[in-house]
Amino acid sequence: MIGNKIIVPPIKSQGIKTKLVPWIKSILPQKTGRWIEPFMGTGVVAFNTDFKEAYLSDINPHIINFYNAIKNKDITPHLVRFFLEKEGNILKNRGEEHYKFIRDRFNKYFDSLDFLFLSRAGFNGMIRFNKKGCWNIPFCKKINRFNKSYITKIVNQVSRVSNRITSNWIFECTDFREIIKKASKNDIIYCDPPYHGRYVDYYNGWSDDDENDLFELLSITKAKFILSAWHHNNYRSNSMIEKYWNIFNIITKEHYYHSGGRIENRNSIVEALVYNFELNFSKPVEKSLFLGVGSMSKISL
Ligand SMILES: C[S@@+](CC[C@H](N)C(=O)[O-])C[C@H]1O[C@@H](n2cnc3c(N)ncnc32)[C@H](O)[C@@H]1O
C-alpha cells in the first residue's frame, strides 16, 4: 500500500483479493521473518504488505515468468508502454483477429508481454487455461481497449509493482506442498488456494486430497499462517470449514464478487480468514465476525 492506496497489480484474475487486502492486513501479526505466499495469483496481497523478504509461488508458470521478468528488468514500464501502444494500434485496426493472433502467439512461445496483453484484453479480466494449458478467454470485444489512458494505467501498475520487488523477493513456480515445508518459525504464510467446489481451469483444479494436504501442512507448520476460504453463501456452506478449519481461529466478512458490470450480477459470499495465532487487539481489525472454534453452526450475519 502507498499511504491508504492499494497497489493494484497489472495482471488481472477472477479471484483477485484487491478488495479484501485491508481486511487481511488488519489481522497481520508483528512481522519478524518472510512473507510466504504459495498461491500468489496476481500478487495483490504481497504487493500491499511491507515485508522486505518474500517467497512467492504459484503453479501457473506464466504468472511467475511475468514477475521474474519485472524483477530482472526484462520488463520495464517503458517497454510495456511501447509494446501496448504497438499492439493496441493493430488491435484498433484488426479487432478480434489481432486478439486471436496474440493468443496463438502466446500459446506457442508463452511470452510474458503477450500474457499481459491477453490478461488486459480478455473478457472480464479473467485468467483461464484449457486442458492443453492454452489461453482460453475470449476477447473483451473492445477494439479500442488500449487507449492512451488505459495504457498509462497499466504502465503505472507495472511501475508500482517493480518498485516494490527487491532482490529479496523470490518468485518460483512450485506446488504449494514444497513451499509450505520451507517456512520457519518467524515467517508468515498467506494461503489463497482455489476455492474448493468452485471454478476450475488448468491451473486451478482443487481436489479433496489438495485440501487435506494443505490442512496437514498448516497444522504442523511452526510459522504463523492466514488462509482465505469461502465460508458460506445464501445457498450452502463450505464443508471444508467444518471438516478441517474449525479447529483454528476464524473471522468472516460479507463480500461481493462482480461477474459483469450490472448490479444484479453481484454475488454475495461470506469470506473467511482462518489463522493460527492470537490477534493483536491494539490494532483495529476491520469489521468482521469472530467465530469461536467449532462454531460453524452458530453463524448469523
Ligand atoms: C484464488 S487464486 C489466488 C489469488 C490471489 N490471492 C490474488 O489475489 O490474485 C489461486 C492460485 O493458486 C494457484 N494454484 C492452484 N493449484 C496450486 C498448487 N497445487 N500449488 C500452487 N499454486 C496453485 C492458481 O494458479 C491460482 O493462481
Model confidence over 204-237: pLDDT tens digits?
889 999 999 999 999 999 999 999 999 999 999 9
Which has the closest alpha carbon to 261: 121, 140, 135, 137?
A: 140
Q: Do domains 18-59+174-298 and 71-164 have the same CATH topology?
A: no
Q: Which of 96, 70, 87, 97 is nearest to 10 (CA)?
A: 70
* Residue 132 in this model has a pLDDT that exceeds 60: yes
pLDDT digits (tens, 9 = 90+) for 136-172: 999 999 999 999 999 999 999 999 999 999 999 999 9
Instruction: Please say whether the beta carbons of 107 and 115 come within 8 A.
Output: no
Tens digits of per-residue pLDDT, 236-286?
Answer: 999 999 999 999 999 999 988 665 555 555 678 999 999 999 987 666 666
Every domain of the chain and the residues it spans: 18-59+174-298, 71-164
Contact (Cβ atoms closer than 8 angstroms) between residue 275 and residue 247: no
Q: Is the pLDDT of residue 193 over 50?
A: yes
What CATH class is the domain 71-164? mainly alpha
Atom of ligand 1 nearest to the CA of 195: 1
- In the reported structure, the alpha carbon of residue 198 is separated from the centroid of ligand 1 by a whole-number distance in angstroms of 13
- Ligand 1 pocket, Cβ-based, cut-off 6 angstroms: 13, 15-17, 38-39, 41-42, 44-45, 58-60, 175-176, 192-194, 203-204
Q: Which CATH class is domain 18-59+174-298?
A: alpha beta
User: In terms of pLDDT, which residue wins out, 211 or 287?
Assistant: 211
